[in-house]
Amino acid sequence: MNYSDENVLAGQLISIADGTYEDTAARLGEIGPDTVAVAVLREIAWRSRFGTPPAQPVTTVFELSHEGKRLDYVMTVGAEDPAIAAGAVSDPWLVIRQDLVELLRAVYGPPGAGSATRGIAIKDEPGPGSFDPADPWRVARSAAELAAHRIVTACAPTHYDLGELSLSYGSDKWAGHWYTQHYERHFAPLRDSRVRVLELGIGGFQNPSAGGASLLMWKQYFRRGMVLGLDYFDKSGLIQPRIQPIQGDQGDREFLDGLGRGLGPFDVVIDDGSHISGDVIASFEALFPHVRPGGLYVVEDTQTSYWSGWGGSSTRPDDPSTSVGYLKTLVDALHHREFESDAARPAGPHDEWIGGVHFYHNIVFIEKRCNAEQSAAPWVPRHTNPMEWLKQIPEQSA
């Protein structure tokens, strides 16, 4: 299992944007300034498509500088396909000037990468022909201003609302379900970090180019993230920078272990796959070891744990062969140090790494972190009623 060439490049750019300016410049030179410029501008073009488009397409020239040379590119902001082309055009409505290393760091680096070298020029001439809001110059000027704003927003650590992203890309994580509020709570600390996200279940059934709404949502939300999607069907038509579909069976533990070894570790794993209890449990057992400490494992649509046709049960809700019954055992793993020594509880495979378990309606978040908090001191009785035990403690003299 490998990344596509464009995703290998995306991963390299995210990595080198983390360094100092000098480090980034040196590694950029190894890739090639033209290759880097086109890839970064493609990311800007993709991000700038989110939200209300300009009233008309805006021809934009990027004048990028690197080691005393200038690299010129043209992008049509607001076009259905904002293609990137080398070269310049005469009399463009919008010109963006910036150092290439700084632009790369602004797009893919940590917050605070800066925009000290950026210059923005919006055409002023010949001016409006009338005061009519529909005057062609006024319409074009307004479109150029909006295009400039969208480009600046695309180059900054913008914090989009997940509900809005879900609706925009057609994901059911808001309205179909009400998950985005919980995702916001748990994912917010990671949103500006270099993350690797794996989602099980892409959607679109057998069509290789259909589905992937939530993958697009995560790509926009995690501006420095690599987003992988696993589906039973071929989804190769959805490959794009920072989105990598993989074909496979989420119930195949050996395959998933190989996936984790080859493309992990992951900062986030989201199970939005078959929702069949056996698959949910198999996926967790195989992939949780490949979640990075500090990461999160999420299981969606746990209502199927109560449905018999999906491997669940409404009469045996604690059965560990059902998805919720299994996830409940992780609460015991979280408290494994608290069991009485003679309870003969066998050690669980995840006892040392369950750092928190958060149950919400039909969605569960599991935190992975070292579970090493000490229990109460050994001298505190476990088998005796604490009130009876306190009566046996001698009174202290004044």
Q: Which residues participate in catalysis according to the annotation?
A: 275
**DSSP-based helix, strand, coil % in the chain, nearest 5:** 40, 20, 40
CA 319/CA 305 separation, integer angstroms: 10
Which residues make beta-bridge pairs with 269? 198, 297
Q: Name the 3-class secondary structure at 88.
A: coil
Contact 104, 23 (CB under 8 A): no
Cα radius of gyration rounded to whole Å, the chain? 26
CA 13/CA 41 separation, integer angstroms: 12
**b/e code 270-307 from CB counts within 10 Å (16+ = b):** bbbbbbbbebbbbbbebbbbbbeeebbbbbbbbbbbbe
Contact 174, 180 (CB under 8 A): yes
Beta pairing, strands 58-66 & 225-231: unpaired
